Structure 1
Amino acid sequence: MVDIQGENMSVAAYFRLKYKMQLRYPNLPLVNVGSKRPGKEAWLPIEVCVVAAAQHCANMTDLDSAEIVRQTSYPPPIRQEKIMEQVYQAGFVNDPFLAAFGIKVDHNFERIQAHVIDAPTLLFKNVSERPTGGQWSLRGKKFVEGIPVRNWGVIVAANVSERDIHLFDVKLADSGDQCGLPFEDKNPMLIRQDQHRGAQVDELMKMCHQELERRGAGPPQFLLGILQSKNSPVYGVVKRMSDTVLGLPSQCIVSENVPRANLPFCVGVCLKINTEVEGQEPHAA
Protein backbone atom coordinates (compact mmCIF):
# COMPACT_ATOMS: atom_id res chain seq x y z
CA MET A 1 0.00 0.00 0.00
CA VAL A 2 1.11 3.57 -0.70
CA ASP A 3 0.02 6.86 0.81
CA ILE A 4 -1.47 9.10 -1.88
CA GLN A 5 -2.45 12.47 -0.41
CA GLY A 6 -3.45 10.87 2.88
CA GLU A 7 -5.28 7.92 1.32
CA ASN A 8 -3.92 4.37 1.41
CA MET A 9 -4.00 2.83 -2.04
CA SER A 10 -2.53 -0.31 -3.59
CA VAL A 11 0.10 0.09 -6.27
CA ALA A 12 -2.20 -1.59 -8.80
CA ALA A 13 -5.01 0.84 -7.95
CA TYR A 14 -2.63 3.82 -8.22
CA PHE A 15 -1.44 2.78 -11.70
CA ARG A 16 -5.04 2.21 -12.78
CA LEU A 17 -6.06 5.67 -11.53
CA LYS A 18 -2.94 7.61 -12.56
CA TYR A 19 -1.92 5.94 -15.83
CA LYS A 20 -5.12 4.12 -16.83
CA MET A 21 -3.06 0.94 -16.77
CA GLN A 22 -4.19 -2.44 -15.48
CA LEU A 23 -1.25 -4.36 -13.99
CA ARG A 24 -1.14 -7.97 -15.15
CA TYR A 25 0.84 -9.13 -12.10
CA PRO A 26 -0.26 -6.94 -9.18
CA ASN A 27 0.97 -9.41 -6.57
CA LEU A 28 4.61 -9.52 -7.65
CA PRO A 29 7.21 -7.69 -5.50
CA LEU A 30 8.20 -4.15 -6.46
CA VAL A 31 11.63 -3.19 -7.76
CA ASN A 32 13.71 -0.39 -6.26
CA VAL A 33 14.97 1.76 -9.15
CA GLY A 34 16.15 4.60 -6.91
CA SER A 35 18.80 4.94 -4.23
CA LYS A 36 19.72 2.24 -1.73
CA ARG A 37 19.66 4.79 1.08
CA PRO A 38 16.64 4.51 3.41
CA GLY A 39 13.93 6.99 2.44
CA LYS A 40 15.41 7.58 -1.02
CA GLU A 41 14.00 4.49 -2.74
CA ALA A 42 11.76 4.53 -5.83
CA TRP A 43 9.60 1.41 -6.09
CA LEU A 44 8.01 0.31 -9.38
CA PRO A 45 6.17 -2.83 -10.55
CA ILE A 46 8.45 -5.25 -12.37
CA GLU A 47 6.28 -5.32 -15.49
CA VAL A 48 6.73 -1.59 -16.20
CA CYS A 49 10.53 -1.78 -15.96
CA VAL A 50 13.00 -2.36 -18.77
CA VAL A 51 16.56 -3.48 -18.05
CA ALA A 52 18.99 -1.05 -19.68
CA ALA A 53 21.65 -2.58 -21.90
CA ALA A 54 25.43 -2.40 -21.31
CA GLN A 55 25.22 -1.67 -17.60
CA HIS A 56 28.33 -1.71 -15.44
CA CYS A 57 28.56 -4.91 -13.40
CA ALA A 58 28.80 -3.84 -9.77
CA ASN A 59 31.01 -5.56 -7.23
CA MET A 60 29.59 -8.46 -5.28
CA THR A 61 27.94 -7.77 -1.96
CA ASP A 62 29.31 -9.28 1.25
CA LEU A 63 26.48 -11.84 1.17
CA ASP A 64 27.36 -12.84 -2.40
CA SER A 65 31.02 -13.27 -1.46
CA ALA A 66 30.12 -15.34 1.59
CA GLU A 67 27.86 -17.57 -0.50
CA ILE A 68 30.60 -18.19 -3.07
CA VAL A 69 33.03 -19.12 -0.30
CA ARG A 70 30.44 -21.47 1.18
CA GLN A 71 29.79 -23.13 -2.17
CA THR A 72 33.48 -23.62 -2.95
CA SER A 73 34.96 -24.51 0.44
CA TYR A 74 34.23 -28.25 0.30
CA PRO A 75 36.75 -30.75 1.69
CA PRO A 76 38.58 -32.68 -1.06
CA PRO A 77 36.62 -35.96 -0.60
CA ILE A 78 33.27 -34.17 -0.96
CA ARG A 79 34.57 -32.18 -3.95
CA GLN A 80 35.73 -35.42 -5.58
CA GLU A 81 32.33 -37.00 -4.99
CA LYS A 82 30.53 -34.05 -6.56
CA ILE A 83 32.80 -34.14 -9.61
CA MET A 84 32.07 -37.84 -10.06
CA GLU A 85 28.35 -37.15 -9.85
CA GLN A 86 28.64 -34.55 -12.60
CA VAL A 87 30.65 -36.92 -14.80
CA TYR A 88 28.02 -39.66 -14.52
CA GLN A 89 25.16 -37.21 -15.08
CA ALA A 90 26.85 -35.87 -18.22
CA GLY A 91 26.55 -39.31 -19.83
CA PHE A 92 29.81 -39.12 -21.77
CA VAL A 93 29.67 -42.88 -22.48
CA ASN A 94 26.51 -42.51 -24.58
CA ASP A 95 27.39 -39.17 -26.16
CA PRO A 96 27.20 -39.64 -29.98
CA PHE A 97 29.24 -36.52 -30.69
CA LEU A 98 32.18 -37.69 -28.58
CA ALA A 99 31.91 -41.12 -30.20
CA ALA A 100 31.97 -39.54 -33.67
CA PHE A 101 35.33 -37.93 -32.86
CA GLY A 102 36.66 -41.06 -31.18
CA ILE A 103 36.82 -39.38 -27.77
CA LYS A 104 36.36 -41.43 -24.61
CA VAL A 105 36.03 -40.01 -21.09
CA ASP A 106 37.24 -42.21 -18.23
CA HIS A 107 34.97 -42.15 -15.17
CA ASN A 108 37.96 -42.58 -12.86
CA PHE A 109 40.33 -39.85 -11.70
CA GLU A 110 43.86 -39.86 -13.05
CA ARG A 111 46.38 -41.15 -10.50
CA ILE A 112 49.87 -39.69 -10.28
CA GLN A 113 52.78 -39.98 -7.88
CA ALA A 114 53.03 -36.96 -5.59
CA HIS A 115 54.43 -35.92 -2.25
CA VAL A 116 53.93 -33.08 0.20
CA ILE A 117 56.80 -30.60 0.29
CA ASP A 118 57.89 -29.63 3.78
CA ALA A 119 57.20 -26.01 4.64
CA PRO A 120 60.30 -23.82 4.94
CA THR A 121 61.33 -22.43 8.30
CA LEU A 122 60.34 -18.79 8.82
CA LEU A 123 62.89 -16.50 10.39
CA PHE A 124 61.69 -13.73 12.69
CA LYS A 125 63.84 -11.25 14.57
CA ASN A 126 63.76 -13.20 17.83
CA VAL A 127 62.72 -16.77 16.88
CA SER A 128 62.17 -19.14 13.99
CA GLU A 129 59.15 -21.36 13.27
CA ARG A 130 58.15 -24.05 10.81
CA PRO A 131 54.51 -23.63 9.69
CA THR A 132 52.14 -26.50 10.41
CA GLY A 133 49.22 -27.14 8.09
CA GLY A 134 50.07 -24.00 6.14
CA GLN A 135 49.64 -21.80 9.21
CA TRP A 136 51.81 -20.09 11.77
CA SER A 137 51.22 -17.73 14.67
CA LEU A 138 52.71 -14.27 15.10
CA ARG A 139 52.17 -14.34 18.86
CA GLY A 140 55.41 -13.60 20.70
CA LYS A 141 57.31 -12.97 17.48
CA LYS A 142 58.86 -9.79 16.14
CA PHE A 143 59.28 -8.57 12.58
CA VAL A 144 62.80 -8.81 11.20
CA GLU A 145 62.90 -5.02 10.94
CA GLY A 146 60.11 -2.79 12.18
CA ILE A 147 60.04 0.87 11.17
CA PRO A 148 59.20 3.21 14.10
CA VAL A 149 55.83 4.90 13.56
CA ARG A 150 56.17 8.59 14.43
CA ASN A 151 53.64 10.39 12.24
CA TRP A 152 50.43 8.83 10.92
CA GLY A 153 46.79 9.68 10.37
CA VAL A 154 43.34 8.08 10.38
CA ILE A 155 40.60 8.88 7.84
CA VAL A 156 37.13 7.78 8.97
CA ALA A 157 34.54 7.37 6.20
CA ALA A 158 32.14 5.22 8.21
CA ASN A 159 29.76 5.25 11.16
CA VAL A 160 32.11 4.51 14.06
CA SER A 161 32.09 6.06 17.52
CA GLU A 162 34.98 8.20 18.72
CA ARG A 163 35.48 5.84 21.65
CA ASP A 164 35.78 2.75 19.44
CA ILE A 165 38.30 4.51 17.19
CA HIS A 166 40.41 5.55 20.18
CA LEU A 167 40.36 2.05 21.67
CA PHE A 168 41.33 0.56 18.31
CA ASP A 169 44.24 2.99 17.94
CA VAL A 170 45.48 1.96 21.39
CA LYS A 171 45.16 -1.75 20.55
CA LEU A 172 46.93 -1.25 17.23
CA ALA A 173 49.81 0.65 18.86
CA ASP A 174 50.16 -1.95 21.65
CA SER A 175 50.13 -4.78 19.09
CA GLY A 176 52.77 -2.99 17.03
CA ASP A 177 54.99 -2.59 20.08
CA GLN A 178 54.69 -6.32 20.79
CA CYS A 179 55.46 -7.51 17.26
CA GLY A 180 58.36 -5.16 16.57
CA LEU A 181 56.59 -2.22 14.89
CA PRO A 182 57.11 0.45 17.58
CA PHE A 183 54.38 3.10 17.66
CA GLU A 184 56.13 6.16 19.05
CA ASP A 185 53.07 8.19 18.04
CA LYS A 186 50.04 6.75 19.82
CA ASN A 187 47.76 9.69 19.01
CA PRO A 188 47.31 9.80 15.23
CA MET A 189 45.82 12.73 13.37
CA LEU A 190 42.10 11.91 13.14
CA ILE A 191 39.90 13.25 10.32
CA ARG A 192 36.22 12.22 10.30
CA GLN A 193 34.05 12.68 7.23
CA ASP A 194 30.92 13.24 9.35
CA GLN A 195 32.59 16.28 10.93
CA HIS A 196 33.32 17.85 7.53
CA ARG A 197 29.95 17.91 5.81
CA GLY A 198 30.18 17.94 2.04
CA ALA A 199 33.89 17.11 1.98
CA GLN A 200 34.96 14.22 -0.24
CA VAL A 201 37.43 11.59 0.92
CA ASP A 202 40.19 12.87 -1.37
CA GLU A 203 39.83 16.33 0.20
CA LEU A 204 40.00 14.81 3.69
CA MET A 205 43.17 12.93 2.77
CA LYS A 206 44.83 16.11 1.53
CA MET A 207 43.75 17.85 4.73
CA CYS A 208 45.17 15.05 6.89
CA HIS A 209 48.43 15.03 4.94
CA GLN A 210 48.84 18.78 5.43
CA GLU A 211 48.15 18.48 9.17
CA LEU A 212 50.72 15.69 9.50
CA GLU A 213 53.32 17.87 7.79
CA ARG A 214 52.60 20.68 10.27
CA ARG A 215 53.08 18.48 13.33
CA GLY A 216 56.85 18.58 13.11
CA ALA A 217 57.16 14.85 13.85
CA GLY A 218 58.96 14.02 10.64
CA PRO A 219 57.51 13.17 7.24
CA PRO A 220 54.03 11.57 7.17
CA GLN A 221 54.40 7.78 7.11
CA PHE A 222 50.98 6.32 6.32
CA LEU A 223 47.21 6.80 6.49
CA LEU A 224 44.77 4.32 7.97
CA GLY A 225 41.34 4.39 6.30
CA ILE A 226 38.23 3.14 8.11
CA LEU A 227 35.57 2.28 5.52
CA GLN A 228 31.91 1.36 5.92
CA SER A 229 32.08 -1.97 4.05
CA LYS A 230 34.37 -4.24 2.05
CA ASN A 231 32.90 -3.09 -1.25
CA SER A 232 32.94 0.61 -0.41
CA PRO A 233 33.77 2.78 -3.46
CA VAL A 234 35.86 4.88 -1.09
CA TYR A 235 38.58 2.20 -1.18
CA GLY A 236 39.50 3.05 -4.76
CA VAL A 237 39.63 6.75 -3.90
CA VAL A 238 41.92 6.13 -0.93
CA LYS A 239 44.35 4.01 -2.97
CA ARG A 240 44.38 6.40 -5.92
CA MET A 241 45.09 9.39 -3.69
CA SER A 242 47.71 7.64 -1.58
CA ASP A 243 49.57 6.02 -4.48
CA THR A 244 49.37 8.65 -7.23
CA VAL A 245 48.73 12.02 -5.57
CA LEU A 246 50.12 12.07 -2.03
CA GLY A 247 52.79 9.41 -2.41
CA LEU A 248 51.86 8.16 1.04
CA PRO A 249 51.20 4.50 1.94
CA SER A 250 47.70 3.61 3.10
CA GLN A 251 45.96 0.68 4.76
CA CYS A 252 42.18 0.23 4.90
CA ILE A 253 40.00 -1.68 7.35
CA VAL A 254 36.23 -2.20 7.59
CA SER A 255 34.32 -0.35 10.30
CA GLU A 256 32.75 -3.51 11.76
CA ASN A 257 36.24 -4.73 12.73
CA VAL A 258 37.06 -1.62 14.75
CA PRO A 259 35.08 -2.34 17.96
CA ARG A 260 35.83 -6.08 17.95
CA ALA A 261 39.49 -6.00 16.92
CA ASN A 262 41.61 -8.52 18.82
CA LEU A 263 45.37 -9.10 19.00
CA PRO A 264 45.65 -11.37 15.91
CA PHE A 265 43.67 -8.88 13.80
CA CYS A 266 45.78 -5.92 14.95
CA VAL A 267 49.03 -7.83 14.41
CA GLY A 268 47.83 -8.65 10.88
CA VAL A 269 47.22 -4.95 10.23
CA CYS A 270 50.66 -4.14 11.65
CA LEU A 271 52.19 -6.71 9.29
CA LYS A 272 50.65 -4.91 6.31
CA ILE A 273 51.64 -1.49 7.63
CA ASN A 274 55.24 -2.59 8.17
CA THR A 275 55.34 -3.75 4.55
CA GLU A 276 53.91 -0.42 3.36
CA VAL A 277 56.55 1.60 5.25
CA GLU A 278 59.35 -0.63 3.88
CA GLY A 279 60.05 -2.71 6.96
CA GLN A 280 61.25 -6.32 6.69
CA GLU A 281 58.84 -9.20 7.22
CA PRO A 282 59.61 -12.78 8.28
CA HIS A 283 61.37 -14.65 5.48
CA ALA A 284 62.17 -18.24 4.64
CA ALA A 285 65.40 -19.75 5.88
Structure 2
Amino acid sequence: MVSFRGASADAAAALAEQVSGSATVADDLFSVAATLRSEGSLRRFATDSSVPAEAKSGLVSGLLDGKVDAATLELVKDAVARRWTRTRDLADALEQAGVVAAVRSSGDDAGRLVDELFTVRSTVGSNSDLRSALSDPARSAADKAALVDSLLAGKALPATVALVKQALAGSFRTVSAALEDYEKVAADVHGQGVATVRVARPLADGEQQRLADALSAQYGRSVHLNVVVDPEVLGGVKVEIGDDVIDGTISSRLDAARRKIAG
Protein backbone atom coordinates (compact mmCIF):
# COMPACT_ATOMS: atom_id res chain seq x y z
CA MET A 1 0.00 0.00 0.00
CA VAL A 2 1.01 3.65 -0.40
CA SER A 3 3.52 4.50 2.32
CA PHE A 4 3.30 7.71 4.35
CA ARG A 5 5.70 9.13 6.93
CA GLY A 6 5.30 11.24 10.04
CA ALA A 7 2.24 13.49 10.20
CA SER A 8 1.03 12.23 6.82
CA ALA A 9 0.82 8.65 8.12
CA ASP A 10 -1.45 9.74 10.98
CA ALA A 11 -3.58 11.92 8.69
CA ALA A 12 -3.99 9.24 6.01
CA ALA A 13 -4.95 6.62 8.61
CA ALA A 14 -7.58 8.95 10.10
CA LEU A 15 -9.14 9.63 6.69
CA ALA A 16 -9.25 5.93 5.79
CA GLU A 17 -10.91 5.18 9.14
CA GLN A 18 -13.61 7.82 8.60
CA VAL A 19 -14.55 7.18 4.97
CA SER A 20 -17.88 5.47 4.29
CA GLY A 21 -18.56 2.56 1.97
CA SER A 22 -19.88 4.51 -0.99
CA ALA A 23 -19.18 4.27 -4.70
CA THR A 24 -20.15 7.93 -5.07
CA VAL A 25 -17.70 9.05 -2.38
CA ALA A 26 -14.99 6.91 -3.97
CA ASP A 27 -15.49 8.55 -7.38
CA ASP A 28 -15.55 12.01 -5.76
CA LEU A 29 -12.30 11.39 -3.89
CA PHE A 30 -10.57 10.08 -7.02
CA SER A 31 -11.64 13.26 -8.83
CA VAL A 32 -10.46 15.57 -6.03
CA ALA A 33 -7.12 13.75 -5.86
CA ALA A 34 -6.66 14.19 -9.61
CA THR A 35 -7.47 17.90 -9.36
CA LEU A 36 -4.92 18.40 -6.58
CA ARG A 37 -2.25 16.64 -8.65
CA SER A 38 -2.92 18.82 -11.69
CA GLU A 39 -3.27 22.14 -9.83
CA GLY A 40 0.01 22.87 -8.11
CA SER A 41 -1.03 26.18 -6.55
CA LEU A 42 -4.15 24.61 -5.05
CA ARG A 43 -2.15 21.66 -3.73
CA ARG A 44 0.42 23.93 -2.09
CA PHE A 45 -2.24 26.13 -0.52
CA ALA A 46 -4.18 23.14 0.82
CA THR A 47 -1.08 21.69 2.51
CA ASP A 48 0.50 24.94 3.76
CA SER A 49 0.64 24.66 7.55
CA SER A 50 0.92 28.46 7.86
CA VAL A 51 -2.54 28.97 6.33
CA PRO A 52 -5.39 28.85 8.89
CA ALA A 53 -7.55 25.75 8.66
CA GLU A 54 -10.64 27.96 8.33
CA ALA A 55 -9.24 29.55 5.16
CA LYS A 56 -8.45 26.19 3.60
CA SER A 57 -11.85 24.81 4.60
CA GLY A 58 -13.55 27.86 3.07
CA LEU A 59 -11.70 27.40 -0.21
CA VAL A 60 -12.65 23.72 -0.36
CA SER A 61 -16.31 24.56 0.32
CA GLY A 62 -16.29 27.18 -2.42
CA LEU A 63 -14.78 24.79 -4.94
CA LEU A 64 -16.68 21.61 -4.10
CA ASP A 65 -20.01 22.50 -2.50
CA GLY A 66 -22.81 21.15 -4.68
CA LYS A 67 -20.35 19.28 -6.90
CA VAL A 68 -19.56 16.34 -4.63
CA ASP A 69 -21.40 14.27 -2.06
CA ALA A 70 -21.79 15.98 1.34
CA ALA A 71 -19.75 13.19 2.98
CA THR A 72 -16.94 13.78 0.48
CA LEU A 73 -16.92 17.52 1.19
CA GLU A 74 -16.64 16.96 4.95
CA LEU A 75 -13.82 14.46 4.47
CA VAL A 76 -11.84 16.80 2.20
CA LYS A 77 -12.34 19.71 4.63
CA ASP A 78 -11.01 17.47 7.40
CA ALA A 79 -8.06 16.48 5.19
CA VAL A 80 -6.91 20.02 4.39
CA ALA A 81 -7.07 20.94 8.09
CA ARG A 82 -4.47 18.26 8.90
CA ARG A 83 -0.68 18.44 8.69
CA TRP A 84 1.10 16.74 5.78
CA THR A 85 4.76 15.75 5.62
CA ARG A 86 4.94 16.20 1.84
CA THR A 87 2.72 18.27 -0.44
CA ARG A 88 1.93 15.26 -2.64
CA ASP A 89 0.70 13.20 0.35
CA LEU A 90 -2.69 14.93 0.49
CA ALA A 91 -3.69 13.75 -3.00
CA ASP A 92 -2.27 10.28 -2.37
CA ALA A 93 -4.19 9.97 0.91
CA LEU A 94 -7.46 11.10 -0.68
CA GLU A 95 -6.96 8.55 -3.46
CA GLN A 96 -6.30 5.84 -0.88
CA ALA A 97 -9.42 6.89 1.03
CA GLY A 98 -11.31 6.58 -2.26
CA VAL A 99 -10.00 3.03 -2.66
CA VAL A 100 -11.19 2.23 0.87
CA ALA A 101 -14.61 3.70 0.07
CA ALA A 102 -14.85 1.55 -3.07
CA VAL A 103 -13.79 -1.54 -1.14
CA ARG A 104 -16.32 -0.92 1.63
CA SER A 105 -19.04 -0.41 -1.00
CA SER A 106 -18.59 -4.08 -1.97
CA GLY A 107 -19.93 -5.17 1.43
CA ASP A 108 -19.54 -8.89 2.06
CA ASP A 109 -17.94 -9.47 -1.35
CA ALA A 110 -14.44 -8.53 -0.15
CA GLY A 111 -12.95 -11.91 -1.06
CA ARG A 112 -14.48 -11.79 -4.52
CA LEU A 113 -13.17 -8.24 -4.98
CA VAL A 114 -9.60 -9.30 -4.17
CA ASP A 115 -9.91 -12.28 -6.52
CA GLU A 116 -11.23 -10.14 -9.37
CA LEU A 117 -8.51 -7.51 -8.98
CA PHE A 118 -5.90 -10.26 -8.97
CA THR A 119 -7.42 -11.85 -12.08
CA VAL A 120 -7.39 -8.53 -13.94
CA ARG A 121 -3.79 -7.89 -12.85
CA SER A 122 -2.72 -11.35 -14.03
CA THR A 123 -4.53 -10.89 -17.35
CA VAL A 124 -2.90 -7.50 -17.95
CA GLY A 125 0.49 -8.97 -17.06
CA SER A 126 0.17 -11.86 -19.49
CA ASN A 127 -1.56 -10.07 -22.39
CA SER A 128 0.80 -7.63 -24.09
CA ASP A 129 -1.90 -6.24 -26.42
CA LEU A 130 -4.19 -5.42 -23.51
CA ARG A 131 -1.30 -4.00 -21.49
CA SER A 132 -0.32 -1.75 -24.39
CA ALA A 133 -3.90 -0.59 -24.93
CA LEU A 134 -4.32 0.37 -21.28
CA SER A 135 -0.98 2.16 -21.05
CA ASP A 136 -1.01 3.88 -24.47
CA PRO A 137 -0.62 7.65 -23.81
CA ALA A 138 -2.23 8.39 -27.18
CA ARG A 139 -5.52 6.88 -26.06
CA SER A 140 -7.88 9.10 -24.08
CA ALA A 141 -8.96 8.26 -20.53
CA ALA A 142 -12.52 7.89 -21.80
CA ASP A 143 -11.40 5.41 -24.45
CA LYS A 144 -9.53 3.33 -21.89
CA ALA A 145 -12.51 3.42 -19.50
CA ALA A 146 -14.77 2.21 -22.33
CA LEU A 147 -12.36 -0.67 -22.93
CA VAL A 148 -12.54 -1.62 -19.24
CA ASP A 149 -16.35 -1.52 -19.40
CA SER A 150 -16.38 -3.74 -22.47
CA LEU A 151 -14.25 -6.32 -20.64
CA LEU A 152 -15.74 -6.20 -17.15
CA ALA A 153 -19.18 -4.56 -17.04
CA GLY A 154 -21.78 -7.11 -15.93
CA LYS A 155 -19.07 -9.68 -15.23
CA ALA A 156 -17.32 -8.13 -12.23
CA LEU A 157 -18.33 -6.21 -9.13
CA PRO A 158 -18.96 -2.48 -9.66
CA ALA A 159 -16.14 -1.84 -7.17
CA THR A 160 -13.77 -3.90 -9.32
CA VAL A 161 -14.67 -1.92 -12.44
CA ALA A 162 -14.24 1.38 -10.59
CA LEU A 163 -10.85 0.40 -9.19
CA VAL A 164 -9.54 -0.89 -12.52
CA LYS A 165 -10.50 2.44 -14.10
CA GLN A 166 -8.75 4.29 -11.29
CA ALA A 167 -5.65 2.17 -11.87
CA LEU A 168 -5.43 3.85 -15.28
CA ALA A 169 -5.19 7.32 -13.72
CA GLY A 170 -1.41 7.28 -13.66
CA SER A 171 -0.70 7.91 -9.98
CA PHE A 172 1.09 4.54 -9.90
CA ARG A 173 4.00 3.57 -12.13
CA THR A 174 1.94 0.89 -13.92
CA VAL A 175 -1.61 -0.43 -13.97
CA SER A 176 -0.39 -3.70 -12.44
CA ALA A 177 1.29 -1.86 -9.56
CA ALA A 178 -1.93 0.02 -8.84
CA LEU A 179 -4.03 -3.15 -8.90
CA GLU A 180 -1.62 -4.95 -6.59
CA ASP A 181 -1.85 -2.06 -4.13
CA TYR A 182 -5.66 -2.08 -4.32
CA GLU A 183 -5.70 -5.83 -3.61
CA LYS A 184 -3.75 -5.24 -0.41
CA VAL A 185 -6.02 -2.36 0.62
CA ALA A 186 -9.11 -4.50 -0.05
CA ALA A 187 -7.79 -7.32 2.10
CA ASP A 188 -6.51 -4.99 4.83
CA VAL A 189 -9.86 -3.19 5.14
CA HIS A 190 -11.38 -6.54 6.05
CA GLY A 191 -8.56 -7.54 8.40
CA GLN A 192 -6.81 -9.88 5.99
CA GLY A 193 -3.36 -10.30 4.51
CA VAL A 194 -2.76 -11.34 0.90
CA ALA A 195 -0.46 -14.20 -0.10
CA THR A 196 0.52 -15.04 -3.67
CA VAL A 197 0.93 -18.81 -3.94
CA ARG A 198 2.74 -20.34 -6.92
CA VAL A 199 2.17 -24.04 -7.61
CA ALA A 200 2.73 -26.43 -10.50
CA ARG A 201 -0.89 -27.62 -10.47
CA PRO A 202 -4.16 -26.26 -9.04
CA LEU A 203 -4.62 -26.86 -5.32
CA ALA A 204 -7.55 -28.96 -4.19
CA ASP A 205 -10.04 -27.13 -1.96
CA GLY A 206 -8.79 -28.98 1.10
CA GLU A 207 -5.15 -28.19 0.31
CA GLN A 208 -5.90 -24.50 -0.25
CA GLN A 209 -7.83 -24.23 3.01
CA ARG A 210 -5.09 -25.98 5.00
CA LEU A 211 -2.48 -23.61 3.55
CA ALA A 212 -4.66 -20.59 4.30
CA ASP A 213 -5.20 -21.81 7.88
CA ALA A 214 -1.46 -22.40 8.37
CA LEU A 215 -0.54 -18.93 7.09
CA SER A 216 -3.29 -17.31 9.14
CA ALA A 217 -1.94 -18.99 12.26
CA GLN A 218 1.63 -17.95 11.41
CA TYR A 219 0.79 -14.30 10.72
CA GLY A 220 -1.92 -13.83 13.32
CA ARG A 221 -4.61 -12.70 10.87
CA SER A 222 -6.77 -14.16 8.14
CA VAL A 223 -4.84 -14.61 4.88
CA HIS A 224 -6.43 -14.47 1.43
CA LEU A 225 -4.71 -16.68 -1.16
CA ASN A 226 -4.06 -15.65 -4.76
CA VAL A 227 -3.08 -18.93 -6.41
CA VAL A 228 -0.94 -18.87 -9.57
CA VAL A 229 -0.46 -22.10 -11.50
CA ASP A 230 3.10 -21.97 -12.88
CA PRO A 231 4.50 -25.16 -14.46
CA GLU A 232 8.04 -23.81 -14.04
CA VAL A 233 7.93 -24.47 -10.30
CA LEU A 234 7.79 -28.25 -11.14
CA GLY A 235 6.38 -29.12 -7.72
CA GLY A 236 6.01 -27.81 -4.19
CA VAL A 237 4.75 -24.36 -3.19
CA LYS A 238 6.16 -20.81 -3.23
CA VAL A 239 4.40 -18.29 -0.99
CA GLU A 240 4.93 -14.52 -1.14
CA ILE A 241 3.27 -12.51 1.63
CA GLY A 242 4.37 -8.97 2.26
CA ASP A 243 8.17 -8.93 2.24
CA ASP A 244 8.36 -12.64 3.15
CA VAL A 245 9.05 -15.39 0.62
CA ILE A 246 8.62 -19.04 1.58
CA ASP A 247 10.06 -21.08 -1.28
CA GLY A 248 9.51 -24.81 -1.05
CA THR A 249 9.44 -25.50 -4.78
CA ILE A 250 11.39 -28.25 -6.52
CA SER A 251 12.76 -25.71 -9.01
CA SER A 252 14.34 -23.66 -6.21
CA ARG A 253 15.94 -26.79 -4.72
CA LEU A 254 17.34 -27.75 -8.12
CA ASP A 255 18.73 -24.23 -8.54
CA ALA A 256 20.35 -24.44 -5.11
CA ALA A 257 21.85 -27.82 -5.98
CA ARG A 258 23.24 -26.48 -9.28
CA ARG A 259 24.80 -23.50 -7.49
CA LYS A 260 26.38 -25.84 -4.92
CA ILE A 261 27.85 -28.04 -7.63
CA ALA A 262 29.11 -25.04 -9.60
CA GLY A 263 30.60 -23.41 -6.50
Q: TM-score, structure 1 length as denominator? A: 0.20
The structure where helix makes up a greater share of residues is 2
Q: TM-score, structure 2 length as denominator? A: 0.21
The structure where strand makes up a greater share of residues is 1
